[in-house]
Chain A
């Protein structure tokens, strides 16, 4: 019995001594600022900054190869804290959130077929372009919702909806959407054009009841071309987020009903 106790204690002691020596002799000198920066980052490991996780971004920051302010999840407060640790200026960033530029719900958008395949937008888009008549619109199979690290996206009535409060602006949904209709927009912008179809008005009308026809009324109502609140791509109005419109009255005047004031949805969690 005594021998057993002594033996276990001996093994423990030897292991402890070896580990203590190893820790002292073999430890790698790491910049202590890396740990401090990691602590300042939100730790979501979302990859939105383009580095492998918060740790990778912290290393790049300390090495001086990454701009401070690339962390969308942490926002300004986080950038300011990192600036304090590293002694560099924070690049001014505004919180950005994902916006799904489509409002063609099941009742509004024409479906041209039945899709019973794998529940993924990428697969649906490859299968004869999906079941939606509009080849620019949201398929609603939730590829963005599946990839969202915060569970901020849910599918309602055949459309992806983003909860503005939960979105950290990592941009994973932007990359995964086969229709490329998700955009990161400033969280402060309230007026959006929820359409992604640049076709001519009649062609848009054939496939969707709420598609943008490019009538330029929103531009006229917001002070004309000089005001520069909108840009046009083909027959599709786009909000100029560098200079977004503020007058909510133009929303009601949109004849296509594809403009909305703060369409961000709350998932109610």
Chain B
């Protein structure tokens, strides 16, 4: 139990996917102008990342690793994740139309999202067990969503500001993102401390 709490704090706050590992910066800047689209994107990422990590774990453990094909895991993961997102898109449209209406437009964006591939890569590198791998992916996706929602809240407020012309739009967004990443650096060491307390 304690291990999972540490894992959550680590993935959400300390090693946040966007603000500390700089994965998934594209949707972080692209769909953060409005809070509701940010929430939709976060939901889609949580959904896809959790399922994708389970699928890639199975692929790695049952097909690639036993056959000594570990060196092509990146290629195989890209292929499987792309197909999986397409499949989810089709299946969701058929069985869960309301969810598809809410997340549908974000699903194609996730196909080539480096955060999804990144979590599969990290799980591959850490040789984690299935439960732990899926939980880590879920927590990391929550962290991604957390950063995205925070950032979009700030950007909604910033829309009312009157910055110099050269700073408007993406320039100000990048500066804001940098400051948010700096603020998240304040969490560093929190996971280590928690781990010590738990032991």
Contact = CB atoms under 8 A, between A and B. Distances in A.
Interface of A: 3-4, 7-8, 11-12, 15-16, 18-19, 22-23, 26-28, 118-120, 123, 146
B126 interface: no
B83 A19 contact: yes
A111 to B, nearest CB: 18
A16 to B, nearest CB: 8
B80 interface: yes
15 contacts: A3-B67, A4-B72, A7-B63, A7-B64, A7-B67, A8-B72, A11-B80, A15-B79, A15-B82, A18-B87, A26-B90, A26-B94, A27-B90, A118-B161, A119-B161
Interface residue tally on B, bucketed by range: 20 to 34
A15 B80 contact: yes
B179 interface: no
B79 to A, nearest CB: 5
Q: Which of B95, B97, B160 has the most CB of A within 10 A?
A: B160
A16 B83 CA distance: 8
B26 to A, nearest CB: 21
Contact of A8 (B75, B83, B91): B75
A28 B76 contact: no
A191 to B, nearest CB: 35
A4 B79 CA distance: 14
B86 interface: yes
Contacts of A12: 79
A7 B72 contact: yes
B76 A11 contact: yes
Q: Which of A4, A120, A123 has the most CB of B within 10 A?
A: A4
B132 to A, nearest CB: 24
Interface in B73-99: 75-76, 79-80, 82-83, 86-87, 90-91, 93-95, 97
Nearest to A120: B160
Contact of A119 (B67, B83, B162): B162
B150 interface: no
Contacts of B72: 4, 7-8
A28 B100 CA distance: 12
B122 to A, nearest CB: 21
Nearest to B97: A28
Q: Which of A18, A123, A146 has the most CB of B within 10 A?
A: A18
A3 B69 CA distance: 8
Contacts of B90: 19, 22-23, 26-27
Contacts of B161: 118-119
Given A3-B67, A3-B69, A15-B80, A26 B159 contact: no
A4 B162 contact: no
Given A26-B94, A27-B94, A28-B93, A8 B79 contact: yes
Contacts of A15: 79-80, 82-83
B167 to A, nearest CB: 14
A4 B70 CA distance: 10
Contacts of B159: 146
Nearest to A25: B94
A8 B73 CA distance: 10
A19 B80 CA distance: 11
A7 B76 contact: yes
A119 B160 contact: yes
A8 B69 CA distance: 10
Contacts of B79: 8, 11-12, 15
Contact of B83 (A18, A27, A118, A146): A18
A215 to B, nearest CB: 39
B69 A123 contact: no
Interface string B39-63: 0000000000000000000010001
